[in-house]
Amino acid sequence: MTEPREDDQLAQSSALVGRRLIGLGIDWMLCLVITSAFFAQEAYADTTGIERVLVAGDPVITMAIWAAQHLILVATLGTTIGHRVAGLRVVREDGASMVGLPKALGRTVLLALVIPAVVWDPQGRGLHDRAVGTRIVSTRAANAT
């Protein structure tokens, strides 16, 4: 078999960007649901339905819940709930079987800062992944993407 061409790798990485955003959105919505259910701000006590889910939770606690779930799930399983739904997995560049706590912690902190996550290299890797030696890969067959 031959090595994948650089153009093929670039196209696959670019295709993952939308799925990464979907995964992040799913993770964030789950954190909003938890926060609005358990840590609702009193100013939003009269809101109902979707409005309550989207705005009633304390934003600092929402971020803390997101960071905790991201750290724990990526360190141990290599995937968050949103990543799993979107067909993605975080892997180490050195080929180790688990991402591990130090790399997951660095990745989580840099993701929370936002800027490293929205600046990508030509292969579609965020600066947060480059900095800690990880990458996001598809868990689905190449034909399904």
* pLDDT digit string, tens, across residues 20-50: 889 999 999 999 999 988 988 888 878 887 8
- Tell how strand 134-138 and strand 88-92 pair up: antiparallel
pLDDT of residue 28: 94
Flag whether pLDDT at 134 surpasses 70.
yes
Residue 115's pLDDT band (cuts 50, 70, 90)? confident
Tokens (6 digits) for 131: 């900095």
Q: Which residue has the higher pLDDT, 13 or 58?
A: 58
pLDDT of residue 145: 45
* Sequence letter at residue 55: V
- Please, what's the b/e burial string for 109-145 (b: 16 or more CB within 10 A of its CB; e: otherwise)? ebbbeeebbeebeeebbbbbbbebebbbebeeeeeee
- The Cα-based distances of 116 to 56, 57, 107, 120, 140 in angstroms read 28, 26, 10, 8, 26
The pTM of the full predicted model, rounded to 2 decimals, is 0.81
State percent of the chain over pLDDT 70: 86
